Amino acid sequence: MNKTIAVIRGDGISPEIVAETIGVLDTVAARFGHTFTYQEAPMGGNAIDRFGVPLPEESLKTCLASDSVLLGAVGGPKWDDQPPENRPERGLLKLRAAMGLYTNVRPARMFADLSAACPLRADIAAKGIDFVVVRELIGGLYFGEHRFDRLDGQERATDVCAYSEGEIRRVARVAFEMARKRRRRVTSVDKANVLATSRLWRRTVTALAEEYPDVELLHMYVDNAAMQIVRDPSQFDVIVTENLFGDILSDEASQITGSIGMIPSSSMGDGSRGLYEPIHGSAPDIAGQDKANPIGTILSAAMMLRYSFDRAAEADAVEAAVDAVLAAGVRCGDIWQEGCRLVGCREMGRLIRERI
Ligand code: NAD
């Protein structure tokens, strides 16, 4: 297999964790006889410094011409004073939209060896946590009109939330297909007791469910879902929801499994090309100190192998190497426990590569 991977090294800890992940991909390539070619695509604060914009046209072209994109994270305090349209996150939103990535998938799985890091009560954690959040990524409030005006002598702000049937159906389909490969249960999360977009969401998902009689469909209001995720996460298999609710619930879901440094994500559209990134940010507080946990990014590369390149054995090998390192008691600072061996980003990458 020959694949071209666009690499966004990003800001903060991102260059460190991306370097370890490329090392893992190279090990996979050597072991399984593949060739990965990496194309650099500057984006984020570093791109603002060098090119004046968070997503240069050249970078966008590189991503669109690639078989998949690997990203760490972008942003940091240095660029907080940029005007809204030139902030590092704008680059990411523009990239997601240009690549047509309407589905974001984040697994929330508790690693057996990290159960001590789970902040939930032991009897709740003991039931296990293994679900995925499928979030709509390029519609809703984040992509609606944002406006400031004045009303009755005061400043007023408006954000528009809109969804079409087609936008809902295509992401719901991803959720149903995924559930078929898992435990066959979809929980659709909305706020249909208040919002028009949610009522359309519920109607559309319900209609689509007729094509999936083998998958159980449940509906849940978002406020209840936020409670149920901490009360009994074992009830969930696949959660599907719109952009804003998914942003919040997927962060909550990642937190109950332990550290934010462990969780991968994939964003996909209609084709096989995807954008793979950990869910955390650029962690400027520990940047450049060899303290970052690279596992979220390494597991994102495993998702790339599985979903974009259809290579389950290679993805399994990466995931098994991560499990083996954790089982051996090796930990980065964010997941460190008494009695474990503390390592930095580079050593964690090396030990994972050694086990592939
Ligand atoms: P953050 O995720 O960067 O950091 C939150 C905390 O988690 C920090 O204490 C950090 O040290 C720790 N942490 C995060 N990732 C870690 C890792 N891999 N290993 C060890 N510890 C880790 O969130 P934040 O501080 O709110 O944001 C920092 C910057 O990142 C901001 O500029 C924000 O806009 C940006 N951000 C970018 C993305 C993205 O690019 N997708 C996502 C979220 C935040």
DSSP for 251-264 reads HHHHHHTS-GGG-E
Which among 191, 212, 237, 307 is annotated as catalytic? 191
Q: What is the CATH number of the domain that holds 337?
A: 3.40.718.10
- Active-site residue, 142 included: yes
User: What is the per-residue pLDDT for 112?
Assistant: 81
**C-alpha 301 – ligand 1 centre gap (Å):** 19
Domain that holds residue 12: 1-99+272-356
Q: Is residue 63 part of a domain?
A: yes
Ligand 1 mutation pick, 79, 250, 263, 280, max ligand atoms within 8 A of CB: 280
Specify whether the CB–CB gap between 20 and 58 falls below 8 A. Answer: no
Provide CB contacts within 8 A for 257, sequence distance 6+: 108, 109, 110, 111, 114, 117, 118, 129, 263
Do 252 and 277 belong together in one domain? no
Longest Cα–Cα distance of the chain, Å, equals 68
Q: Is the dihedral of CA 214, 220, 226, 229 positive or negative?
A: negative
Q: How many independent structural domains does the chain possess?
A: 2
- pLDDT value of residue 203: 98
> Any catalytic annotation for residue 191?
yes
d(CA 74, CA 93): 11
Residue nearest to ligand 1 atom 30, measured at CA: 281
Ligand 1 centroid to residue 119 C-alpha, Å:
19
Report the alpha-carbon distance of residue 35 to residue 3 in Å, rounded.
6
Let me know if residue 108 belongs to a domain: no
The amino acid sitting at 307 is Y
As a whole number of angstroms, the distance between CA 274 and CA 106 comes to 13
- Let me know whether 43 and 144 are in one domain: no
Nearest CA to ligand 1 atom 26: 281
Q: Does the beta carbon of 292 lie inside 6 Å of ligand 1? A: yes
Judge whether 111 lies within some domain.
no
Of 11, 67, 102, 142, the active-site residue reads 142
User: Any residues with CB less than 8 A from the CB of 205 and at least 6 apart, and which?
Assistant: 168, 172, 186, 188, 217, 219, 240
Rounded to the nearest 10°, the torsion over CA 310, 314, 316, 321 is -150
247 belongs to the catalytic site: yes
Q: Which atom of ligand 1 is nearest to the CA of 283?
A: 3
Domain end point (choices 190, 225, 256): 256
Within this chain, do residues 138 and 241 fall inside the same structural domain, yes or no?
A: yes
The residue out of 256, 281, 299 marking a domain boundary is 256
Separation between Cα atoms, residue 308 and residue 293, nearest integer Å: 24
The answer to whether 79 and 48 have CB atoms below 8 angstroms apart is: yes
Burial zone of 319 (CB within 10 Å; 0-12 exposed, 13-18 middle, 19+ buried): middle
Q: What is the pTM of this model?
A: 0.90
| Catalytic status, residue 223 | yes
Distance 85 CA to ligand 1 centre (A): 21
Give me the catalytic one of 26, 251, 290, 323. Answer: 251
Q: What is the pLDDT along the chain (356 residues), one digit of tens a residue?
A: 999 999 999 999 999 999 999 999 999 999 999 999 999 999 999 999 999 999 999 999 999 999 999 999 999 999 999 998 899 999 998 999 999 999 999 999 888 888 888 889 999 988 989 999 999 999 999 999 999 999 999 999 999 999 999 999 999 999 999 999 899 999 999 999 999 999 999 999 999 999 999 999 999 999 999 999 999 999 999 999 999 999 999 989 988 987 789 999 999 999 899 999 999 999 999 999 999 999 999 999 999 999 899 999 999 999 999 999 999 999 999 998 899 999 999 999 999 999 99
Q: What integer pLDDT is reported at residue 42 of this predicted model?
A: 98
Query: Does one domain contain both 173 and 244?
Result: yes
Cα–ligand 1 centroid distance for 295 (angstroms): 14
Last residue of a domain, one of 232, 256, 280: 256
| Residue 278 belongs to some domain of the structure | yes
Q: Does 351 sit in the ligand 1 pocket, CB within 6 Å?
A: no
Q: Is there a single domain that holds both residue 297 and residue 343? A: yes
